[in-house]
Amino acid sequence: MNFFKSQDEARRNTGRLVALFAIAVISLIVMTNLLVMFVFGYFSVETTGQITIEQLRQQFNWQVFLIIGAAVIVVITLGSLYKIVALAGGGARIAEMLDAELLVYGSNDFHKQRLLNIVEEMAIASGTPVPPVYLLDEDGINAFAAGYKPVDAIIGVTRGAIEKLNREQLQGVIAHEFSHVLNGDMKLNIRLIGLLHGILLIGMIGYYILRSSSHTRRSKDNGGAAILGLGLVVIGYAGTFFGNLIKAAVSRQREFLADASAVQFTRNPEGIAGALKRIGGDAAGSIIENPAGIQISHALFSQGIKTWFGSLYATHPPLGRRIVRIQPSWDGKFDYATHTLSL
């Protein structure tokens, strides 16, 4: 595996997707603007005959457009900032939310001590401070990194991962998580989540306008408010749906980047590839049962939750696709065996 080439490709794809996300947000702002202008009579389309581009240009009021556009941007920005601040706690806050156990040196538990040793090794390999390590009482094989910066990051690992993976496989998983910290993936995901919440806020405002219009008896006002409310609901919820698709695609590209970085840190493609094969052959897979797991699904090592729209909303690429990226000659067989563990 050429891990530098794979990293560059994943970064380029991420950049394209983030640009697409930005274009989608701008399109939603324009659509919302035109809807408001139409409802309040600043812009109208005749029902008879054909309207020309020149007529549209003459009707268009750029001053009103800019005012409404600024108002829409303020709504999205405030909604985004609220969500970003709510999610901006340190990694320890995320671990506590998942009822994870903080691990310390000196434990007589073989699995815990081995994990701490590996985290320290990968911190040295990646040139970052040794982060606190948390253990999740989950049977699935998974892990996550949380935190805005290396100084406030933590590593979380499931009990299934430390008990079912051998040393080199667990090392590959931990190296993958260090990549997420170094590449700022947590920060990127939180910003995308914030923007989605801002877009959703448009739909929520539309819902309340639509609901309020159903209680008024003034038919003219009721009709205009109903059209505005319905239009905002459609824009907000459709924008959130497609925005989530783009966010999931961004997350999948960051997984490819982290896989390539794991190979770089460990110099051992067998480690992370073996962990992915082990997940594919395990009955529990990588599923996280804790209800709070959905909030960090994008930060997990492997797909931790089941999605309504299958691969479209999946935060991680299929296991087979990830393995082939690392080992192009893979025979397609997963690992169903148990392993002899060592420090």
Secondary structure E strands in 53-173: 101-102, 133-136, 143-146, 154-158
Question: What is the H or E stretch that residue 225 is in?
Answer: helix 219-266
Q: Respond yes or no: is residue 289 known to be catalytic.
A: no
Look at residues 317, 310, 10, 2 and name the one whose alpha carbon lies nearest to residue 185: 10
Sheet with 101-102: list strands edge to edge.
Answer: 101-102, 133-136, 154-158, 143-146
Residues in contact with 217: Cβ distance below 8 Å, sequence separation at least 6, in sequence order: none
Q: Which of 177, 255, 270, 289 is catalytic?
A: 177
The Cα–Cα gap between 240 and 90 comes to 26
Query: Which whole-number Å values give the CA distances from 95 to 101, 135, 153, in the listed order?
Result: 8, 9, 11
Neighbours of 76 (CB within 10 A): 25
3-class SS string, 258-296: HHHHHHHHHCCHHHHHHHHHHHHHCCCCCCCCCHHHHHH
Q: What is the dihedral of CA 237, 243, 247, 250, to 10 degrees?
A: 160
- Give every CB contact of residue 203 below 8 A, 6+ residues apart in sequence: 232, 233, 234, 235, 236, 237, 239, 240
Amino acid identity, position 238:
A
- 130 half-sphere exposure, CB direction, 13 A CA radius: 12
Positions annotated as catalytic residues are 177
